[in-house]
Amino acid sequence: MEFLDYIVVALFFVLMVIIGFASFKKVTSSGDFFVGGGKVPWWLAGISHHVSGYSGVVFVGYAAIAYENGFTIYVWWACSIAIACFIGAFTFAPRWSKLRKALHIESPTEYLATRYNVPAQQLMAWSGVILKLFDVGAKWASIGILLYGFTGLPISVGILLSGIVSLLYITIGGLWADLYTDLAQFIVQFLAGIVLFVAVMMHLGGTGSLMGIWHDLPEGHSNLFNGPYTGLFFIAVLGVNFLSYNGGTWNLAARYISSPSGKSATKAALLSGVLYVFWPLVLFFPMWAAPLLDLPGMEHPSESYAILVQQFLPAGLVGLVLAGMFANTMSMTTSDANTVSAVISRDILPRMFKRFQNLSQAQGLLLARIATFVFTLLTLVIALENQRFGGVLGLIISWFLALVGAVSVPMMLGLLPVFKHADSKTAIGSILGGLVAFILTKMVFSVSLAVETGAPLFTAAFIFILASLLRRGKPVPAEVEELMEALAQPDEEDLPEVTKMIG
């Protein structure tokens, strides 16, 4: 990179820190820190939900898949998420906002103590926190790989650089800092993506290359499914993403929880879904075209995007693209850190230690910031040791995708009245069943990627649904009936508070 590129990246980091400090005044309580006081406008929540689904993994792991397997990455990744958002906009998204009004929740797992019981809540909270350590660690590792591709600096430098800046602004500004930086990062990502898209398209001969490249790419690159990414794998990922992007991934649930109404949350989900339909087509085009380009010095397909940028963009714009990739990763990791710290400080610590119960607003806010700092620090350690867990793709596909579905089944399905008979034993049994399926497919039997990814989710879902059906006719606890009634209320009516309050 040229000196001008380093200046652009440095200015981006300065902007992130400025936004963090500017958001400081909007945060006076843990409710402001975690859910923006329930006042986040739908368009900001929608953009943040969309941007929070990206990270440097897209430009490292997914770039390698696009290089080696072609169009299939758009089908099983972007399209599955778009479908999840469109369906979830009318099923799950509005329920999260209503939960905040009915139970005054500030974390996605906070309602589980009322819906099931404390042991079930703790199992899901602890499982999710541990899972997120690996997921966020993979994203830090991906940005380190990107920086190495651009500058030759050690991977650990990229991990620590992005991590320290993120630690600073998310610890200070909470969700508001995360939302405003998401907006800034979306703008940077848009500009960087458009510039590279146009540069590659013109190099290949103009607009005709948009369709023309598929005739010249290796066989199978234009197929909807290619390589290990089969139709069965798509179904598995669709199932995982349906739960994940509608709240099973906690930071995405926070975007809906922070919405002022169910209708606002619905519009946010629809906006995110529309962006997933169109924007990845622009973003992935250079990655799809990469096999037709002479990319000097490439030792692995995961380096293709970084080399592509440096070859086709002038000084300054290279820095903009790198800033955009930093933006993607930091958006996802900081939103994860914010939401996971909510679970730690609201659901885990108060159950373990009485000293964390009934805190004042100032004490709750301090605990929130400490939890955010410590969690983020631990993810950086995981990132530095990512090769021990199978590298970036190993962490994302083999660990996170395979486990997030199983852990989120009782959390998500428990919001639906059709499953109101499911109790704590049903919830715990489904999670344990999913974990057993993960162990068997990951460590005991040799199975396809589709089975490895989908088995934990579908095992957990089967157990949960079957147990719910077997319990039909048995009495439902009064607090659960009240919760379901509250979630069924239209937006225009004031939501009743559920009798059994959390905490």
SS3 state at 69: helix
Q: Does some domain include residue 483?
A: no
Burial bucket for residue 183 (CB in 10 Å: 0-12, 13-18, 19+): middle
What's 336's DSSP letter? Answer: H
Number of structural domains in the chain: 1
At position 312, the amino acid (one-letter code) is F
Spatial separation of the C-alpha atoms in residues 347 and 295, rounded to whole Å:
50
Which tokens belong to 372? 């955010």
Assess contact for 460 and 409: CB atoms under 8 A.
Answer: yes
Of 125, 117, 116, the C-alpha closest to 419 is 116
Q: What pTM value is reported for the model?
A: 0.83
CATH of the domain at 317: 1.20.1730.10
Residue 88 CA: distances (Å) to CA of 135, 174, 246, 302, 342:
23, 26, 6, 32, 23
Domain that holds residue 157: 3-389
Burial annotation 353-379 (CB, 10 A radius, 16+ → b, else e): eeebeebeeeebbebbbebbbebbebb
Judge whether 179 lies within some domain. yes
Does residue 394 form part of some domain?
A: no
207 vs 446: CA distance, rounded Å: 45
pLDDT number for residue 426: 95
118 domain residue, yes or no: yes
Q: For residues 200 and 207, what is the distance between their CA atoms, to the nearest angstrom?
A: 10
Q: Is residue 49 part of a domain?
A: yes
Of 13, 343, 365, which is closest to residue 172 (Cα–Cα)? 365
Residue ranges of alpha helices (H) inside 226-298 are 231-243, 250-257, 262-289
481 found inside a domain: no
- The owner of tokens 């979306």 is 186
pLDDT of residue 488: 84
pLDDT per residue, tens digit, the chain (503 aa), is: 778 888 888 887 788 778 777 777 777 766 677 777 788 899 999 998 998 777 666 777 788 899 999 999 999 999 999 999 999 999 999 999 998 888 888 888 889 988 999 899 888 888 878 777 777 777 777 777 777 777 777 878 877 877 777 777 667 767 777 788 788 878 887 887 898 899 899 989 899 999 999 999 999 999 999 988 999 999 988 998 999 899 988 888 989 999 999 999 999 999 999 999 999 999 899 999 988 887 777 778 877 887 888 888 787 778 877 776 776 667 667 777 777 888 888 888 888 888 888 777 788 778 888 888 888 888 888 777 766 554 544 545 456 666 777 888 999 999 999 999 999 999 999 999 998 998 898 778 888 878 887 888 899 999 999 999 999 988 999 999 999 988 887 765 445 555 544 44
Residues constituting the chain: 503
pLDDT number for residue 493: 44
Q: Is residue 226 part of a domain?
A: yes
pLDDT at 400: 62
C-alpha span between 178 and 171 (Å, rounded)? 10
Whether 428 maps to a domain, the answer reads no
